[in-house]
Structures are given as structure tokens and as C-alpha cells.
Structure 1
Amino acid sequence: MSEDRISLSLISHTNAGKTTLARTLLGYDVGEVRDAAHVTVDVNAYSLISTPAGDELTLWDTPGFGDSARLAKRLRQQGNPIGWFVGQVWDRFRDRSMWFTQQAVSNVRDQADVVLYLVNASEEPTDAGYLEPELAVLEWIGKPVIVLLNQTGRSRPAAEEAVEHERWRKLLANYQVVRSVLPLDAFARCWVQEITLLQEVGKILPAQRREAYTRLVGAWQLRRERQFEAAMAVLAETLARAALDLETLPETRLTGTLRDLKRALGVGRDAHAGDAAAKDDKAHAVQALGARIDADLQAGLDRLIAIHELEGHASDELLRRIALTVSVEAPVNERKAALMSGAVSGALTGLGVDIAHAGLTLGAGVITGAVVGALGGAGIARGVNMARGRRGTTLRWDDSFLCELVVSSLLRYLAVAHYGRGRGQWRETEYPAFWPPLVSRAVTTAKAALVATWSGREGRRVNGAASGGVAPGGPDTSTVATAARPLLTELTRQLLAELYPGQPG
């Protein structure tokens, strides 16, 4: 057997998910997947990964064990069980179950360096009647075995999953051929678990084969890391475009300014005349912002699906779930500031004022006593407007929304990264209940750093109702994406480390 050619044989009780897992690992459809016994009837070899040095890691998909109890009973009657069994000429038409089993056993004996034995983890170990006779067969063959816990169900907190894994480990501890027990669900595995599996295989191989195998694992990890990096780039670019997007509303007329000022100062009753037009303007602006981010999120999710070698597209249902909030940023209107200067100049000095109903926000760090004294009311307005680079009232996504966008983006990444190709085309499903709070806590901790990545965006300006260029000093999409990407990468690795403690991420 060539030292640079390493083979893994995938075997299990029939209809336990072998071909589904093969599809997930390979990144393309092989064989046939359906809920029936003995769907795989032939032994098939697939190249998992190769290197320029000529190394190759092969995955063999085999027929499943059939009537395991009858098989074990027959083998116990023979002095050389496996030699006798594979030497028989079974009638493949009259005893198909035994014929398929013979093909699997022959492959493991003749081809496998390591056996990957799948079990249905949704069953209690003591209820899996096929387990003891099939492990007896594997003991007779004598090749090292890694048991993979398949069909583990929805992702759960690491502590809960560890309890289940330990139960299986204790049950299998008495089998000498079983070297490791790992979770690797064909429907909801993550790439860090794949790397852990490959590393476990490396521990089992003889020393003379490890050099080639190390190159193969490195090539596999490089492939997955590139997918990860590409996914983080998509998330960063989507966030950057959302952070810099804005809409400009028409200039407020003097009558509207006076009405806003009265309402802000608590004078008179609320007026309705002219409100409809203003609301209409804002509604159109919000719709334009919403349409752009909807399209960008859908395109981004489609890119994530393609990066992970899945099929399908983002659903409208997913995008409708994303709540849209908008921040109204009104520049200081010069006429409003002049009208206000006599009434509230004392409040402006060194303290700042927030007249929320008028959409006017002046932070204490922006308006200082020195500025007030030097410029007066109308001068304050011009200084703040020029400093912020604004021309007219603008609508943009606020910091809270953008942080929520990071939460939803990370959740979408986790959902795609856990979606096994064997499940068919991508479709949105509910996240495991513990994911959203886990992600929210991580993003909350990093909020200040995230907000800093799009700081200075007030310099961005638009012409009309569509996004425009960048004013001097304002960041562009590339700048924000470059700043956000390492933060998103760090957050995602932290989440993977919490989901899979002790595994590479």
C-alpha cells in the first residue's frame, strides 16, 4: 500500500446516513439518498483531498450492514470468520442483505487504513440492537475504528452534548478497535469538527504515513480556512455598505421649522398641516434604504451558500424577519438656530441640548461655550453642519441597528456553516434556542469596537435620493469593511470556540 495514499472506509448499519455524510464532506452530490434500507449497493471511492506532492485521501462509501445478528452468528461458527465470509459466493439476488454486507466487509479488510463507523445517536446506545454484532465484525477485521455520532439532532450547548458523547464513549470503551468517538452529524456538522476528525485519524496511522497525511490535513484545513475568510469578507462588506448608506430628505420649510420649534419648547398644540408631506418623504426614504439592504442581505446570503458548496438561495421569509430601524440625523437648521439662540443659549453653553421632537441633537462635546461665544446662534449652525459634512436632513441606519445586523449576520453564518449538503438545497430553519443569546452577548461586548469601524461616516453625502460619493474625510466601503473584518473574524472564532470547546476554530 502506497504511503502517500490513505483510505477511509465509511460503514454503518444500513440507512444510517453514510452517503449523506459523504456528500457533506465532498461538497458535491454522490450516490443516492433516501429513507430506505440498502440504498447504496456498490462500493464507491471518492477523492477527499490531494496535494501537489501526489498525496491523496480517499473516502470509500460502502453498502450498509444488513442483518447484523445473523451475520455475527454465522461468523462465530468459523475459525477464521472474516476470511471465510469474504471468500463465500453469495447469491446477490436471493440474499441481497448478506451480499451487500459482504461487499462492505471486503472493502474494510482490503482498503481501509481507518474505518469511520457511523451510529445513530438519536437512539439510546443500549437500544441499538445492531451495535454489538457489527462491532464484533469490526473487531474480527481488526482495522482501527473511529465511531461517528450521526443524527445527533439540533445543536445544543456544549455541556449537554458532552453528556451524550460520554455515554457513547463508556459503552464503546471495551472494544479494542475503537480508538475514538466523535460527533459528526451528516446534517448539521461544522467544519471545525471535520478538522478534529482528520486529526484523530492522524493519531492512528503508522509513523511512516504521517508525513504525507500531515500535508493532506494541511490542504484540507487551508480549504476550509479560505471558505471561512471568504465568508467573513462577505459579512464585512455587507455591514460596511449598510453603515454608509443614507438618504437625504427635502429641506424643511420655515413653517415646518417654527412648528418643530414650538413643539420642542412645549408651546401651543401639535399642528397637522404639512405633516403628511414630511411623513411621505421619510417613508420613501426608509423604503429606499430598506430595499437596498434587503437586496444586499439576500445577495450576501447567496454568496455564503455558494462559498460553502451548497445549493439554493436566500428566502424572502428570512429577510422579512430582519427588523428595520432608522436614525434621523438632522443638521442644525440655521434659521432654527437663530430663532433658538436667545431662548436657550444658556443651555447650549458647555452643556449641549437635545430637542428630540425637532430632530435636533447637539452633543456637549460638539457645542462648547467657546464656540457659542465666538459664533452666535447662526454661526453654531454653520459650524456643526460643516463639521458633520451634511446638507439637509439625512436618514441612515443607527448604531443599534447595525449591531443587530452583526448579530443576524453571525447567526446566518453559523446556520450556513452547519448545513450539511446531504440535507439538499439550502432552506432557512429556526436557529437553536441558545444561539441568539450567545451571539448577542458576544456582539454586545464588542459593540464599542464595532461602532468605531464606521465612525466618521457623517462625512458621507448623497445627491438626491440615491447614495452618492464620500465627502473629504468620510470613510468609504472598503475602509469600513477592512476595519470590521478582523472584528467579525474574532467574534466568529470566539463563538466557534464556545460551541466546540477544545476543537480547532
Structure 2
Amino acid sequence: MTAADVPGRDAGAVSLSLISHTNAGKTTLARTLLGRDVGEVRDAPHVTAEATPYPLVQTTYGDLLTLWDTPGFGDSVRLVRRLRQDRNPIGWFLSQVWDRYRDRALWLSQLAVRNVAEQADVVLYLVNAAEEPDDAGYLGPELEVLEWIGKPVLVLLNQTGPPREPAVEAADAARWQAALADRPHVRGVLALDAFARCWVQEFTLFDAIDDLVPDGSQAAFGRLAAAWRDQRMDEFERSMAALAGPIERAAADRVVLPAEPLSSRVGGSFGLPNPARSQARADAAERMSARLRDDLRASTDELIAIHRLEGRATDAVLERVADDVHVDAPLDEGRTAALGGVVSGALTGLGADLAAGGLTFGAGMVAGAIVGALGGAGLARGVNVYRGRSDASLRWEDAFLDGLVTSSLLRYLAVAHYGRGRGAWTEGEYPPFWRELVVEAVVAEQERLAVVWAQTRESAGSRGDDERMRQELEAVLRSLALGLLDRLYPGALREVEFRG
């Protein structure tokens, strides 16, 4: 039994009516909240021709939360005049018969009003946040209509654009709150963009609705809000697993290089070229790169599906991941220089793990030659690890793995903010302030990640140990992601346990 199934009273139903000036994004937001395509989305007025109910969330106890998508307001001034006539027979005839056939836009607006009056427990009123409140000529008449209906109203700021810093969004909300301060039926103002909302903002929305539902529905709505929270947190946990898999496998990945004759190793220590060795390392690096590329593509596809979006990862997305690793990772240059001239781009994090394995070089071998024979030029750059084995191998360097964590968190934020109404998922430009926050967070966990990388390499190949290290990496990612979301949306996750 989940938190949403605890019985307290009879099962209940709560209805939300989504309403706005026509063509303001109601259906787009409905698609985002519902996680499926509903209605029709076009850049035209009155695309939605009737009030349509959609189940938003249900509990196994029988509670139901319904979201109504309504026709938008059209000519609000005329609508106010018409509704003032609605309690006399002539007004009834005009609104029920005449408008339907002679003034369809006005009739659709009346349908929206009737839905709110007859069905809504709480009204979700969308406004175009790109406009100044004083410039929205429709705002006053529509708020008058909603006041006439008498239902509590939450104003949702839509069309705010790409995700912005919390202080900027707070300033937008404050601006609209000030403009609506003399409207007692407006009970709150929240940013909830149909294109770029994040699921944690929905927690804030549910908290606000909880204060407005009728007394008799509060227990049912509490269970519904808990069910919604459980669903979203389950998606979050599955997302962390999708991110962790490719990174854990990359940390454990290793390619054994062909054995080299002693003469080749000694020659390499004096800077003599060795085309065969260089080609072997390049081939090994390409195999590792291909595995990681395929793994990241599958992970991104899974992330998209978890968030009930459409679309597939493309090579352009993976190139972007490589760029993020290279530019944004908290890198130590002494640790990341690797296989100079052999690989480039994202593969600059590939480390050479070369070992002599107790080989006897003879008393005449100078110390510098021994060092060179063990690791070539890479050892001097700090990227090789001597483990006492008799083979030479390539592995992903710690700094590159740190960079994968950085890019994976950026990718997660991009998907988690992608409204379904935008259509198939495509990678866009990250807001600049995301990069700074993510890098700062990963740097703070660098020591913990170093332990994970070391233990993952040591346990590679053991099924039980591999699973344990994947879970440990998931815990780190979970902690990082929740911390980032908490910084982006302060207070929205106050009931979520920050374990990890």
C-alpha cells in the first residue's frame, strides 16, 4: 500500500478546469501534464471546440482527479455583456441557439464559462507571461467573468521561455501577483510553462491546489497528490538508473593491448616511433568509444521514454555530450592528458593503464628507461596506473568519468524540462547557469566519485559487485540531481528524502 492508498474517507473526485484567452497554450500544457497527446494544437484561435475531461491521476482507493481542457475566451468584453443577460429567457435563447450558429467564437467562450461554473473545484487560468499585465487587454474582462463564477483561481504563467534562474522566475511571479492583488478570487500565481516546466514544479502546483479544494474533498485530494508524487518519484528513480548504467560500464571497461617485445618498450622510452603500438591503441580506443556511444544513445532513448516523450537520441546529441565532457568537466590537466596524438575530442579522457608485471629489465637498465618502458610518454603525464600486472590495457580516466557524470546530469535536466506539447524531443542549448551549477555540484562530489571509479575497476566482471557499484553510482547521481533541482526550485522538494 502506498501513501496514496491510505483510506481516511470515502473515495472522492476533484476537477480542475484549464482556461485562458484563446490560443494561450491550454492544450499544450494539458499534454505535458497528462504525458500523452490530447486535443489539437495549432497556432489559431478556438482550436479546442468543446470542454473535454481527462483523467489526470487516480488512486487504487478510487479517487479521481480530472483535468478539463476548455475552449478559450475570445472577445471577453462581449462575453461579459452576454453573461449578464444569462438569467433571462432572451439571453438563454441567444446563448444556447443563436450564438451556436451565428457567432461560434462567442458560443465557445460561453461553453468554457459553463464548464468552470458547473464542473470546476479549482480554476487554472493561463496567462501569457511574455506580456505585461497592463498590456493584456483581455485580462480584466476575463478575470471579471471568473469572479462572477466564484471559483478559486490559480494563475499559471505560461510562455515564459527557456528555464531561467530562480530569482528571474520569482520576479515574474511577483510582477503578476502585484497586478492581481485586488482580485480576491485569484489565490496564487505560479510559473508553469507548457514547453519548459519541470516535474518538481507540479509538486508546487499540487500544494497550491490543496489549499483551495472544498473541505469535503481535501482527504481525497491528499491521496491524489500523494499518488502523483509517487509516480513522478518513480520516474526520477528510473531516470537515475538509466543514467548510471552507461557510466558504470564505462568505468569498468578495459581493453587489453597486444603484448610488446621488450625491445619495443625500451625503444619507446627513448622516443623512437612505434606505428604498430600506436595503431593498436587507436583501435582499442575506437572500440571503447563505440561501446560508450551506443550505451549513451540507448540511455538517452530510455530517458526520453521514461518522461513519456517522443523522439530518439541522435549523433548530434552524442556529440553534444562529448563537448560537455570535454569543456565542462571538473578536469585536472595533469590527469587528463592521455595518448597524445592518438585520440582526440571526447577520447582525451582515455587513460593508458600499462604495467610491467614484475618483468626483469637487467642491471644495466637505467631508471628513466624503466619508467619509459612501463608507461611510455603517458606515465609521465600522470594518466597511467601501475598495478603489478603483466599486460597493458586502456581504460577511461577518472576525469573523463567525472565529465560523463556532468554531461549526464545536464542531459537529464534537458529531458526533465521538455514539455510533451513541443513534439518529438530534440537537444537544445542548455541555459548557461545550468552548466555552472552542475560543474560545481560534481566538483563537490569528486572524492566520492573517485572511490566509485576505483572500486568499480577492482570489481569489474563480478555480477554481484557490478550491481553493487551501479547502485552506489545511482545513489551519487540521485543526490546530485535532487540537490540541483532543489537549487533550481527551492522548496518544491521539501517532502522528498535527500538520501544517497
Which residue pairs with 1:495 in the alignment?
Answer: 484
Cα contact 1:248–1:392 (8 A) shared by 2: yes
1:327 equivalenced with 2:351 (yes/no): yes
1:432 equivalenced with 2:435 (yes/no): no
- Distance in 2 of aligned mates of 1:206 and 1:459: 59
Cα contact 2:410–2:434 (8 A) shared by 1: yes
**How far off is 1:260 after superposition?**
2.4
Long gaps (5+) in structure 1: 264-269, 367-383, 462-468
Which residue pairs with 1:477 in the alignment?
Answer: 466
1:312-351 matches, within 5 Å, as 312-321=311-320, 322=322, 323-324=346-347, 325-332=349-356, 334-335=358-359, 338-339=361-362, 343-344=366-367
1:35-434 matches, within 5 Å, as 35-75=43-83, 78=85, 88-89=95-96, 90-261=98-269, 263=270, 270-272=271-273, 275-321=274-320, 322=322, 323-324=346-347, 325-332=349-356, 334-335=358-359, 338-339=361-362, 343-344=366-367, 357-360=376-379, 385-386=387-388, 390-434=389-433
- Letter of the 2:99 partner, please give it: D
SS in 1 for 2:454: coil
CA 1:170–1:85: 2 relative to 1, 3 Å: farther
- Distance in 1 of aligned mates of 2:395 and 2:471: 21
- Distance in 1 of aligned mates of 2:488 and 2:362: 58
**How far off is 1:391 after superposition?**
4.1
For 1:423-472, what per-residue CA distance to the aligned partner results, in whole angstroms no more than 9, with x for missing partners? 111111111111111101100110111121121344467xxxxxxx45xx
SS in 2 for 1:93: helix
Cα contact 2:297–2:313 (8 A) shared by 1: yes
Cα contact 2:265–2:372 (8 A) shared by 1: no
Long gaps (5+) in structure 2: 1-9, 323-345
- Distance in 1 of aligned mates of 2:438 and 2:458: 31
SS in 1 for 2:450: helix
- Distance in 2 of aligned mates of 1:134 and 1:80: 19
Which deviates more, 449-458 or 165-174? 449-458
- Letter of the 2:486 partner, please give it: A
SS in 1 for 2:211: helix
- Distance in 1 of aligned mates of 2:16 and 2:76: 22
TM-score, length basis structure 2: 0.86
- Distance in 2 of aligned mates of 1:3 and 1:456: 50
CA 1:153–1:230: 2 relative to 1, 3 Å: same
**How far off is 1:219 after superposition?**
0.5
* Rg (Cα) greater in structure: 1
Cα contact 1:310–1:425 (8 A) shared by 2: yes
Identity of aligned residues (%): 50
**How far off is 1:189 after superposition?**
0.6
Cα contact 2:13–2:65 (8 A) shared by 1: yes
**How far off is 1:127 after superposition?**
1.2
**How far off is 1:356 after superposition?**
6.3
- Distance in 2 of aligned mates of 1:39 and 1:340: 87
Cα contact 1:246–1:394 (8 A) shared by 2: yes
**How far off is 1:361 after superposition?**
7.0
- Distance in 1 of aligned mates of 2:147 and 2:93: 15
- Distance in 1 of aligned mates of 2:49 and 2:14: 23
- Distance in 2 of aligned mates of 1:447 and 1:331: 26
Which residue pairs with 1:267 in the alignment?
Answer: none
Cα contact 1:329–1:359 (8 A) shared by 2: no
For 1:175-197, what per-residue CA distance to the aligned partner results, in whole angstroms no more than 9, with x for missing partners? 11100100111111111111111
TM-score, length basis structure 1: 0.85
SS in 2 for 1:136: helix
- Distance in 1 of aligned mates of 2:318 and 2:264: 36
CA 1:173–1:278: 2 relative to 1, 3 Å: same
SS in 1 for 2:479: helix
SS in 1 for 2:102: coil
- Letter of the 1:88 partner, please give it: S
Cα contact 1:188–1:418 (8 A) shared by 2: yes
CA 1:196–1:354: 2 relative to 1, 3 Å: farther
CA 1:69–1:356: 2 relative to 1, 3 Å: farther
CA 1:391–1:457: 2 relative to 1, 3 Å: farther
Cα contact 1:14–1:63 (8 A) shared by 2: yes
CA 1:214–1:282: 2 relative to 1, 3 Å: same
**How far off is 1:477 after superposition?**
2.8
CA 1:340–1:29: 2 relative to 1, 3 Å: farther
1:451-462 matches, within 5 Å, as 451-459=450-458
- Distance in 2 of aligned mates of 1:164 and 1:32: 29
Tell me how large the CA RMSD over aligned residues is. Answer: 2.8
- Distance in 1 of aligned mates of 2:93 and 2:155: 23
- Letter of the 2:430 partner, please give it: Y
SS in 2 for 1:454: helix
SS in 2 for 1:66: coil
**How far off is 1:45 after superposition?**
0.4
Cα contact 1:10–1:116 (8 A) shared by 2: yes
Cα contact 2:57–2:224 (8 A) shared by 1: yes
**How far off is 1:69 after superposition?**
2.2
- Distance in 2 of aligned mates of 1:33 and 1:79: 31
CA 1:137–1:341: 2 relative to 1, 3 Å: farther
**How far off is 1:68 after superposition?**
1.1
SS in 1 for 2:492: coil
Which one of the candidate residues 11, 16, 26 is aligned to 2:19? 11
